Amino acid sequence: MKETITIKTLAKELNISISTVSKALNDSYEISIETKQKVWDLAKMLKYNRNPSASNLRSHKTKTIAVIIPEIANNFFSQAINGIEEVARQRGYHVLIYQTHENTDQEIAFTDSLLSGRVDGILISVSSDHDNRDHFTALVKEIPTVFFDRVYEDIDAARITTDDYESAYNATSYLVECGCKKIAYLFALNNLNAGKQRMSGYQDALKAHQLAYREELTVNYDKDADLNYQNIKDLMLNERPDAVISSIEDLALPCYYVCKELGIHIPDDLKIISFSNLNTAPLLNPSLTTITQPALEMGRQAAAILFKILDKKHFEPNEWLTLKSTLIKRDSTACH
């Protein structure tokens, strides 16, 4: 515990005023280059570090952003955070992480607690358990916010998504072209636009190929993993689809297990495509055809947009960005 060194220390040492030191450290035009240099040198020598609390309190700038996501132990989100952290780092910003575990109450608690000036802005991928748009409608008026991947369409804020509709449409079409006639859909994120878009893409593609949409071919995601497993198993036993599109990774993997248990051979008996950012997709048995979102790039872009907003304080028309996912064809959809 050595005595902490402050701008006061520097001022005393150099025989100049506190304000001169402060302005020198902030590279103000009011200070001569010689004085600045002296201050900088001494600061480095004494390993001076600006006290962030004092600075924030006075200036209302925190150099900190918050990232709110459903789950960190998830390939998509951890890659997105990677991208966010990267650009935050370049700007000297700090990154706070909050997990909602798909709980809107938690989500509300987090955002509320961030309104007291702890952060300059928020990056968020919303929870899927309840519709929370009223809360966010109010939030975005209070603090610069960028939504990524999981967004509300009708909120007046910046957002970045992927082409969910097209991806699902194309994936479904691809399966049809492979000769599949009975394509099941593993449905998740149904409260969110992303989920609805994916479902629409699937439905419209069916229609475009003269195939009927049947609700019995749909499994709805549940928080209970065992239940998901059972539901998929029931689907396989009762309907025996010849293909499956999964709207999230967490439903595709149990599907693999079910097939293993029931002796259903992929891709001969059943073809599988999943929205997924698994880096081991090529190594699965069989390798999994995926619709892969540009997670890292989304993180980067989302952060970039937030900083753009923070730079010019006046709220401009909000940016709406859509990135393309890529369909990577692998063995789980191999045609003969």
Partner DNA sequence: TTTATTTACGAAAACGTTTGAGTTGATTGC
Partner DNA sequence: GCAATCAACTCAAACGTTTTCGTAAATAAA
In the complex, which residues of this chain contact DNA (CB under 7 A)? Answer: 4, 6-8, 15-20, 22-23, 25-26, 30-32, 34-35, 48-51, 54-55, 57-59
Shortest spacing between CB 318 and a copy of itself, in angstroms: 18
Among 8, 12, 91, 118, binds a copy of itself (CB under 8 A): 118
- Sites for a copy of itself among residues 82-101 (CB under 8 A): 82, 85-86, 89, 94-99
Q: Which is nearer to a copy of itself, 39 or 206 (CB)?
A: 39
Distance CA 113, CA 92 (A): 23
17 near a copy of itself, judged by CB under 8 A? no
Which of 85, 242 has the CB closer to a copy of itself?
85
Give the shortest CB-279-to-DNA separation in angstroms: 42
Tokens of 132: 């929370």
User: Toward DNA, which CB reaches closer, 6 or 75?
Assistant: 6
Where residue 11 falls (left for φ over 0; alpha for ψ -120 to 50; beta otherwise) is alpha
37 binds, among a copy of itself, DNA, none (CB under 5 to 8 A by kind): none
For the beta carbon of residue 15, count every other beta carbon within 10 angstroms.
6
Whether the CA torsion 239, 244, 246, 250 is positive or negative: it is positive
Binding partner of residue 31 among a copy of itself, DNA, none, CB cut-off 5 to 8 Å per kind: DNA
17 binds, among DNA, a copy of itself, none (CB under 5 to 8 A by kind): DNA
Q: CB nearer to a copy of itself: give 24 or 88.
A: 88
Cα-based distances in Å from 38 to 3, 9, 49: 22, 14, 16
Nearer to a copy of itself, 52 or 179 (CB): 52
Q: Closest Cα partner for 255 from 238, 234, 239?
A: 234
Those residues with Cβ within 8 angstroms of residue 196's Cβ, 6 or more apart along the chain or in another chain: 190
Q: Which of residues 24-53 bind a copy of itself (CB under 8 A)?
A: 47, 49-53
* CB closer to DNA, 26 vs 279: 26
Is residue 286 a contact point for a copy of itself (CB under 8 A)?
yes
Instruction: Spell out, one character per residue from 244 to 283, where the chain touches a copy of itself: x when CB under 8 A holds, - when not.
Output: ---------x--xx--------------------xxx--x
Q: Which one-letter amino acid corresponds to residue 322?
A: T
The answer to the question of residue 124 lying near a copy of itself (CB under 8 A) is no
How buried is 136 (Cβ within 10 angstroms: 0-12 exposed, 13-18 middle, 19+ buried)? buried
CA quadruple 256, 258, 261, 263: dihedral sign: negative
Q: Are 219 and 236 in contact (CB under 8 A)?
A: no
Q: At what angle do helices 75-90 and 295-311 cross, to 10 degrees?
A: 40
Nearer Cβ to DNA (8/240)? 8
CB of 53 to a copy of itself, least distance (A): 4
Per CB under 8 A, 102 contacts a copy of itself: no
Which one-letter amino acid corresponds to residue 283? Answer: L
Strand partners, 98: 68
Q: Is the dihedral of CA 143, 149, 154, 159 positive or negative?
A: positive
Residues of the shown chain interacting with a copy of itself in the complex, contacts defined by CB under 8 A: 4, 47, 49-54, 56-57, 62, 64, 71-75, 78-79, 81-82, 85-86, 89, 94-99, 112-113, 115-118, 253, 256-257, 278-280, 283-287, 296
